[in-house]
Structure 1
Amino acid sequence: MITKEEIAAAYQQIQDEICVSLEAADGAARFEEELWEREGGGGGRTRIIQNGSVLEKGGVNFSAVEGKLPDSVKKALKVEQSDFFATGVSIVMHPNHPMVPIIHMNIRYFEMPSSFDEGQPLRWFGGGIDLTPHYVIDEDARYFHQRLKTICDQFNADFYQRFKTWADDYFFIKHRNETRGIGGIFYDRLTATDELSWESIFEFSKALGRSFATTYTELIKRNRFKEFTPEQQEWQYVRRSRYAEFNLVYDAGTKFGLETNGRIESILMSLPPTAKWIYNHEPQSGSEEERTISLLKKNINWI
């Protein structure tokens, strides 16, 4: 059986690989690392990159924490046990260029060790990756979703469509009636079945993690040298505000981190460095901004 130590070690390696690739892609900034310990058990490695040539602010964080779940989290997870272990890598990148998209990825593993003694172990993998363009560029959207489908198809023919629909539903800003971006894939509580072993799920998690660097590097290369106007930068700040709204109101990872006494700086590293809330902001009719808003909907087939 795959152990939590093996999973955590693999996630740490993936964090290392992604940081090296992003530093090379940016060409100027370097990650700053802070090692931290969690009161109650475990800790992590927070790595932040700031003020780069294209990466204005981003984080590639690893954590492996354990302890007792608060009653509110037990209720949300619908579990009876209190002991838990959770490990994962969480990434958010905010570029300084309005044509380069925001990107998020998370791969994670959760288990309740006490349940192993009771014969019905509670353990699962979760994760996801989604793209939030300030301006939707169709070619980039197709490239991003095709990359995800290729990875999913290596493990299960149903994964891509199932997890894409899940992402559309999850990354949805209800009070705005719009998706956070163009979606991606999202999954949770993925467990072994007769058709899918724990080893296969773990390999899928690692494959998704290792796809991040090449996927995002390509999107940076395509767009980082395009010219843009002050008005387009302003729109970027407006779109960042929507991203912040989702993470503070709906994001399950943010809520889990706060309710399990996680490190606040690591949890909120997903917020952009600058965002704007302009009262009753409406894009001009026929503009690229209006077109982007029109594409922030569920169930768009990009490939």
Structure 2
Amino acid sequence: MRIIESDSQAKHLQEWLGSGVDEEIFHLNVKSLFGTLPYEYLLYSPKISRRNDGRLRDRDLKKYQHIELGGWWCSGIDPLNNYVSMMWGCFKPDHPRRDRQKIHKFIKYEHPFREETRAFFLLVPNRIWVKVSNRSGIPITEEDLQHPGGFWHWIWRHNVPVTIVEGVKKAGALLTAGYAAIAIPGVNAGYRTPTDEYGTAIGKPYLIPDLKHFATQGRQVNICFDQDNKPETVQRVNKKGVGGRVLGVVRRRWTELGTPPNAIVVKRRGLCPDGCWGCFFPHTLHPTPYTRPNGAGQNSYQSHGTAAGK
């Protein structure tokens, strides 16, 4: 199959734009890969078994051969390593492989093999930074602008409210709308539980280092996951989602009517004049109070506790 790079990148760009993501955010964080290049992004871990000549094992080459047909790769910056580009990220193949555990499903996203999952901190242009500043009411100083860590150091330093979402495109959409969004690859990816060699829990769950770094005293943390009517999914999110209990207290939020946050941004369905599309954020995130027409949607969210650390 012949892959034309420009066509592939144009398709990937349209996918992100269709999710409500600013074009410049896309270009700062996403790249189109094909051929053997995706292997360098997904199979770099020293924990991967290799042949004596350093070549990947045939079983792994066969498992990942679909990535040669192309896809997009996304990673942000690493707040735990002087804000340099993060090596970890995700790859969405144009032709995904089947899930061996659920043969009727495909594995939509690939992450670096045998590496622990992390969180996404997307690069943003200064105009998006200003948008987040205006929405949160927290100014940007000259010192903030000069710091190598830029936007995410400002978020950390000034306890700017953050929203945790599942999926990097949703983070891109909310950043576009002016919210400081951190993405994780799954609802349970925000924490880890110590286990023994048999997989039995032997300790209390703890936040992954990326989220712990932002779990500072007094910061407001919002969790915004997609609605799901499956009882097992609802129970899993309520009990373990992102590590909310470990984080301290978090505001947990389902998006309305099962609609993902990026879809809400695109459809502009919200009633809030502040432009939060769906009003799934608490009132405290708005710079000014607001009311909704005829009281619509007044009970669209429930508060579960106070800000993190309190």
Higher-strand-fraction structure: 1
Higher-helix-fraction structure: 1
Computing the radius of gyration from Cα coordinates, the structure with the larger value is: 2
TM bin, normalised by shorter chain, reads under 0.3
Give the structure, 1 or 2, with the largest relative contact order (CA under 8 Å, sep 6 or more).
1
